[in-house]
Amino acid sequence: MNIFMMLAPMSVFLGLIGIGAFWWTLSHGQYDDPAGDAARILLDDTDGPLP
Amino acid sequence: MALTYDLSPAPDLSAFLKQRPGGQPSLDLLVTGARCAACLGKIERETAAVKGVTGARLNLTTGKLSVTFDDLPSADPGAVIATLDRLGYPASPFDPDQAAEARDREGRQLILCLAVAAFGAMNTMMFSVPLWAGLFGQELGPATRVVMQWWCALVATPCVLYAGRPFFASAWRSLKARRANMDVPISIGVLLTLGISFSETILRGRDAYFDAAISLLFLLLIGRWLDHQLKARARSAAADLLALQAPAAVVVSVDGTEHRRPIGEVRVGDMLIVRPGERVPVDSLVESGSAELDTSLLTGETTVRQARPGQVCRAGVLNLTGVLRLQALARSEDSAVAAIARMVEAGAQSKSKYVQLADRAAQVYVPVVHTAAALTFAAGWALGLGPREALLRAVAVLIITCPCALGLAVPAVQVAASARLFRRGVLVKSGAALERLAEINHVVFDKTGVLTEGRPQLLDAPAPVVALAAPLARASIHPLAKALAEEAGAGPMADEVVEHPGLGVEGVIAGRRARLGRAEFVGAPAPESLETELWFGFEGETKIRFRFSDRLRSDAAETVAALKAMGLTVEVLSGDTQMAVAAAADAAGIGQRRGGLTPIGKADAIDVLQSGGHKVLMVGDGLNDTAALARAHAAMAPGSALDASQNAADLVFSGERLGAVVEAITAARQARRLALQNFGFAAAYNAVAAPAAMLGLVNPFLAALAMSGSSLVVTLNALRLRSAK
């Protein structure tokens, strides 16, 4: 039971980290252009960081 | 009805440039045809290489290219568009403020709620599984059970309160309006479940339904989000179209300089200049100049009209040939076009009163379920169960009948149906549109641009004769001459070409003087000159006549026959002359036809049909159709239609085939059948589950199983639509 009392909050905490990460991707526009991001990885970087 | 003339205007695009305070000027373009990494790389590289451009970034998902410039004077939007055209990606500027960025705040809220609900459902499940095991005689002491229940409460409660907000808010709004929508039983059910689960946990009872409350929200949010995605995609397409409309008019000030102004700022008495390829911005009087005008947009006539000084031009008329100086007679909101826009608005309002299938189901469902729950409580108490047990059973009824399947039944079907139509080139703007489309029993077609292709085409002329006139035709910008030149293909051009506006074109072909144009201009002995013909002749020789016509779409007759086979009646309403309408209607096999209708007349005709009990589908493409499109029970427009028409329509189909109308109706009817099947399934499920809950046979494990099971069945049933022919 003791190990449960430690593991349960830990798993909930890990879940919260997942939600936080999802919220971060959402608020940083990671889903604005999924097709473009998939395509951009195939391009050679010739002009430095994009605006 | 709209004739598309192949003109290449070079309008001043500086009105689309935007400069944020302290920032660089920028331009937003809608690029079509970009699909892959190679396109993306090419577009960004070539655009950035244009003089004055500092950066370009293309959003491949939405097709929007945002370009930033060095400074205002050196910015040349035209050069950017020309570059894109050369690369093979047609682009048009649009105003991103109109294509409201904020539109997807709601979508973002929904997806966050969905994420929280998913987190809550999974983590609550972790504590629920041991509890369920305890229900089946596995070892689980009362102390452990209470700990598990408190963990469930700790995780589920905040998640339910957060993820349930869309439902709570909607239920509250609907209660304030004294109506009950599906969100009312959902909200009551969820909150009551939370309350009863807390009391059970405190009283050391067995039946805590925390997992049911949160997984219910999770499943419902999936349905809600699917529905939102469907609407958002269509809305953004519509908003982009709206934003594409030219916002500017060229106003000449007293000293003769020209300024570009938003149409809304044009005042009565202003002098305007309208060049070929531009539309007349407001109702106005011709001051000087002469030109041929395409009024098809407003009146539905296919023939070209002549504009002379002293004549009145209506807003929205397209200038085809000469430069016109006009005096504004009305402001933009008083112009003829604005009257049509107001009718469209009125039509949209009446459409928004349409009650969707799911809401109609809710109106029956809500009172029944709540009465059943109340009866369970009252009867249980009266029969000596004790208030706590009676309340538990009443809540079990609410949980087990909570409209999970109903919430998913309609959105899942509509998303599957519109995805299928999207693959065939039909854009569905909303789920309600599909429901209305399934109900129609009468189809009204516009003629030009819908039944026909909407382009003038040369009628059977021998190739050597066409080749003879082609050098002059290539030099002209007149639409009929262009059609002739297109028929002839590439070749030499005539010398010393002089264009006589409203008459024709004169030039020298291989040393001989020739004329192409109206009969009297060429010198032909024609008793009367028709607008759909051109004459050609060398000086002093026999004159040749070329006749043009608007060709029927290749599958028009086939489509009409298919519609009739579906049990629908078909009619043509057009603004064109009776004769032209009759010819097209006969060729397409349509018996009922009416011609010479004004835009308002068309809308009235639709109203008369609908008050006579018909549910009308209007298929139209021109500005003169927009009011009718907005009034009709359901409306479709081809992708070549005017923006305003596409906005007024519920569905937009692309491509040359009219058969899309049949496909859309078939898919809509199938979708309705599947949605009704889903309702039937949900009703059958409730007929079994609700009595079981009343008798106290339901425990938290069965509730969870029944809920996800019924949602799964409904979703799988909806997916059958994807594989259906």
* Tokens representing residue B253 in the block: 């000030």
Which residues does chain A have within 8 Å of residue B40's beta carbon, measured at their own beta carbons? Answer: 36, 39-40, 43
Q: Quick check: B120 pLDDT over 90?
A: yes
Which residues does chain B have within 8 Å of residue A42's beta carbon, measured at their own beta carbons? Answer: 37
- Lowest-pLDDT range of B335-339, B437-441, B574-578: B335-339
B707 or A19: which leads in pLDDT: A19
Which residues does chain A have within 8 Å of residue B37's beta carbon, measured at their own beta carbons? Answer: 39-40, 42-43
B98 domain residue, yes or no: no
B640 and B663 together in one domain: yes
- Our CA angle for B460, B462, B468, nearest 5°, is 125
Quote the percentage of chain B above a pLDDT of 70. 85
B656 and B571 together in one domain: yes
- How are beta strands B305-307 and B291-294 bridged, if at all? antiparallel
> CA torsion sign, B531 to B536 to B542 to B548?
negative
Contact between chains at B37 and A26 (C-beta distance less than 8 A)? no
B143 and B183 together in one domain: yes
pLDDT tens profile B130-142: 888 877 777 778 8
Domain of B309, CATH number, reads: 2.70.150.10
Q: Do B571 and B593 touch, CB atoms closer than 8 A?
A: yes
Q: Quick check: B529 pLDDT over 50?
A: no
Confidence of residue B333 (pLDDT cuts 50, 70, 90): low
CA B64 to chain centre: 18
What is the three-class DSSP state of B551? strand
B396 and B313 together in one domain: no
Domain of B510, CATH number, reads: 3.40.1110.10
B270 and B220 together in one domain: no
Average pLDDT for B660-666: 91
B526 domain residue, yes or no: yes
| Predicted local distance difference test score (pLDDT) of residue B638 | 84
* Chain B (73-112) residues lying within 8 Å, Cβ to Cβ, of chain A: 108, 111-112
Contact between chains at B40 and A39 (C-beta distance less than 8 A)? yes
Q: Quick check: B113 pLDDT over 90?
A: yes
Nearest residue to B711 (alpha-carbon basis) of B325, B265, B407: B407
Confidence of residue B502 (pLDDT cuts 50, 70, 90): low
Confidence of residue B3 (pLDDT cuts 50, 70, 90): very low
Identify the residue among A42, A44, A46 best suited for mutation to test binding to B, counting B beta carbons within 10 A and taking the highest: A42
Quick one: three-class SS letters along B621-688? CCHHHHHHHHHCCEEEEECCCCHHHHHHCCEEECCCCCCHHHHHHHHHHHHHHHHHHHHHHHHHHHHH
B665 or B32: which leads in pLDDT: B665
Largest CA distance in chain A: 58
- Alpha-carbon span B464 to B688, nearest angstrom: 80
Q: Quick check: B606 pLDDT over 70?
A: yes
Q: Do B552 and B580 touch, CB atoms closer than 8 A?
A: no
B525 or B48: which leads in pLDDT: B48
B385 and B512 together in one domain: no
- Lowest-pLDDT range of B68-72, B275-279, B568-572, B671-675: B275-279
Type of residue numbered B99: A
B358 and B495 together in one domain: no
B525 domain residue, yes or no: yes
Domain boundary among B534, B551, B568: B551
CA B583 to chain centre: 31
The residue written with tokens 């293309």 in the block is B58
Confidence of residue B618 (pLDDT cuts 50, 70, 90): very high
B718 domain residue, yes or no: yes
Please list, in sequence order, all residues whose beta carbon lies within 8 angstroms of the beta carbon of residue A47, skipping any fewer than 6 positions away: B48
Contact between chains at B127 and A16 (C-beta distance less than 8 A)? no
Confidence of residue B8 (pLDDT cuts 50, 70, 90): very low
Contact between chains at B58 and A36 (C-beta distance less than 8 A)? yes
Q: How far is A14 from chain B (nearest CA, A)?
A: 10
Q: Do B14 and B77 touch, CB atoms closer than 8 A?
A: yes
Q: How many domains does chain B have?
A: 5
pLDDT tens profile B301-322: 666 777 888 888 877 777 777 7
Q: How many CB atoms lie within 10 A of CB B382?
A: 9
- Closest-CA residue in chain A for B117? A19
Confidence of residue B280 (pLDDT cuts 50, 70, 90): confident
B443 and B563 together in one domain: yes
Q: Do B588 and B690 touch, CB atoms closer than 8 A?
A: no
- Closest-CA residue in chain A for B156? A12
Domain of B64, CATH number, reads: 3.30.70.100
Alpha helices, H only, A1-51 = 2-27, 34-40
- How are beta strands B312-313 and B284-288 bridged, if at all? antiparallel
Q: Which helix (H) or strand (E) holds B261?
A: strand B258-262
DSSP string, B446-503: -IIIIIEEEEEEE-S--HHHHHHHHHHHHH---HHHHHHHHHH-S----EEEEEETTT
Contact between chains at A26 and B40 (C-beta distance less than 8 A)? no
| Predicted local distance difference test score (pLDDT) of residue B1 | 35
Type of residue numbered B522: V
Contact between chains at A51 and B68 (C-beta distance less than 8 A)? yes
Which residues does chain B have within 8 Å of residue A43's beta carbon, measured at their own beta carbons? Answer: 37, 40-41
Nearest residue to B249 (alpha-carbon basis) of B231, B229, B230, B275: B275
B546 and B561 together in one domain: no
Please list, in sequence order, all residues whose beta carbon lies within 8 angstroms of the beta carbon of residue B507, skipping any fewer than 6 positions away: B471, B472, B475, B494, B495, B496, B497, B498, B513, B514
Q: Quick check: B413 pLDDT over 80?
A: yes
| Predicted local distance difference test score (pLDDT) of residue B97 | 52
Quick one: three-class SS letters along B363-381? HHHHHHHHHHHHHHHHHHH
Q: Does B132 touch chain A (CB under 8 A)?
A: no
Domain boundary among B627, B642, B669: B669
Q: How far is A25 from chain B (nearest CA, A)?
A: 11
Type of residue numbered B512: R
Which residue among A11, A33, A40 places its CB closest to the CB of B126? A11
B112 domain residue, yes or no: yes
B263 and B275 together in one domain: yes
B154 domain residue, yes or no: yes
B381 or B494: which leads in pLDDT: B381
Identify the residue among B20, B57, B61 best suited for mutation to test binding to A, counting A beta carbons within 10 A and taking the highest: B61
Q: Does the reported pTM lie above 0.90?
A: no
- Closest-CA residue in chain B for A31? B61
Which residues does chain A have within 8 Å of residue B41's beta carbon, measured at their own beta carbons? Answer: 43
Q: Select, from the ranges B56-65, B174-183, B440-449, B526-535, the one with the highest average predicted confidence (pLDDT).
A: B440-449
| pLDDT, chain B, mean | 80
Q: Select, from the ranges B156-160, B256-260, B500-504, B587-591, the one with the highest average predicted confidence (pLDDT).
A: B156-160
Q: How far is B199 from chain A (nearest CA, A)?
A: 23
Average pLDDT for B116-129: 90
Which residue among A22, A23, A36 places its CB closest to the CB of B60? A36
Q: Which residues of B are catalytic?
A: 446
Q: Does B127 touch chain A (CB under 8 A)?
A: yes
Domain boundary among B511, B533, B551: B551
- Alpha-carbon span B497 to B179, nearest angstrom: 72
Q: Do B515 and B504 touch, CB atoms closer than 8 A?
A: yes
Contact between chains at A51 and B144 (C-beta distance less than 8 A)? no
B67 and B114 together in one domain: no
B93 or B567: which leads in pLDDT: B567
Q: Do B637 and B454 touch, CB atoms closer than 8 A?
A: no
Q: How far is A18 from chain B (nearest CA, A)?
A: 9
| Predicted local distance difference test score (pLDDT) of residue B307 | 80
* Chain B (59-78) residues lying within 8 Å, Cβ to Cβ, of chain A: 59-62, 68
Domain extent at residue B304 = 246-338
Please list, in sequence order, all residues whose beta carbon lies within 8 angstroms of the beta carbon of residue B622, skipping any fewer than 6 positions away: B1, B2, B296, B297, B300, B446, B448, B449, B641, B642, B645
B99 domain residue, yes or no: no
Identify the residue among A2, A4, A11, A12 best suited for mutation to test binding to B, counting B beta carbons within 10 A and taking the highest: A12
ipTM score: 0.81
* Tokens representing residue B4 in the block: 């598309």
Which residues does chain B have within 8 Å of residue A51's beta carbon, measured at their own beta carbons? Answer: 55, 57, 68
Domain of B663, CATH number, reads: 3.40.50.1000
pLDDT tens profile A6-34: 888 898 899 999 999 999 998 888 887 88
Q: Quick check: B643 pLDDT over 70?
A: no
Q: How far is A4 from chain B (nearest CA, A)?
A: 10
pLDDT tens profile B192-238: 889 988 988 898 887 788 988 898 889 888 888 887 777 766 666 55
B77 domain residue, yes or no: yes
Cβ density class B84-106: b for 16+ within 10 Å, e for less: beebebebbbbbbeebeeeebee
Quote the percentage of chain B above a pLDDT of 90. 10
- Lowest-pLDDT range of B16-20, B334-338, B412-416, B547-551: B334-338
Q: How far is A33 from chain B (nearest CA, A)?
A: 5
Q: Lay out the sheet containing B291-294: strands in order across.
A: B305-307, B291-294, B318-319
B557 and B660 together in one domain: yes
